[in-house]
Amino acid sequence: MTMDQSLAGRHIIVTGGGRNVGAEVAAELVRAGAKVTVVDLDEVSAKETATALNEIAPGSGFAIACNVADSAEVEATVASAAEQMGGLDGLVNSVAITDRGKTILDITDEEWARVLQVTLTSTMYTVRATANAMIAAGASGSIINIGSTSGYQPRANAIAYPTAKSASLALTKSMARQLGKHGIRVNVVTPNKVGSPVGEADRRDRPINNLIGRACEPSDIAKAVAFVLSDNAGFITGVDLVVDGGALVSMDID
């Protein structure tokens, strides 16, 4: 495989990097020349991904186990990642959990709070820590939050998850506005039904509901993320790059 060097010399954290989209994003970034710290709640998965990264490019992959819903753990993780990679230029947030099967009639307080804490508030924690570290080091860079088409459309079988993903769009725009003067771009990349379902390790067949006529693959999202992180997207900030095969424009909401 030909190595793309569009991210050569970059040091990037990928949260939720132990599997699915996060793991593929990490691999794509390494193929583009970056060093990547894989952050995941599951230490075994994080180390497995880091090992795979080092098989692509020796010395490119690192692993840290972290609960990104805990602000203190996030602060420590970002500091450790910057130290072990020799700097910090970027962040990809790929952590989420869902309340699939719940409605406003039966979701509990605990379920609501848990989904918002992990899927939305953790993004604030990781961006805050990363941006502060980058600014302190005098580094510019790029941050990407992985969105979901659930943030655009109502869901019959979930309530907290689409709320969190919708709110993450507004959060990203505000962060982009506030961090722009520091040379930090912040964007969203939004998939639809990519790889394994949120919260599940295994892939399963799901209906194809887009204009391309095939399932979205983690590599589709990873390539978009690598582009937005790179200088090729240097004039892009505060936007959502929807990579859904046209699913949103083909949805029948009548």
What average pLDDT does the segment 99-108 reach?
95
Fold designation for 11-250: Rossmann fold (3.40.50)
pLDDT of 163-209, one tens digit each? 999 999 999 999 999 999 999 999 999 998 886 455 545 555 667 88
What average pLDDT does the segment 51-62 reach?
98
CB contact at 8 A, 22 and 12: no
Domain ranges of the chain: 11-250
CB contact at 8 A, 68 and 44: no
pTM equals 0.93
Confidence of residue 1 (pLDDT cuts 50, 70, 90): very low
Confidence of residue 253 (pLDDT cuts 50, 70, 90): very low
Tokens at residue 135, please? 């600014």
Catalytic status, residue 161:
yes
- Write down the pLDDT at residue 254: 38
Q: 161, 188, 226, 229: which is the annotated catalytic residue?
A: 161
Comparing 8-12, 78-82, 208-212, the range with the smallest average pLDDT is 208-212
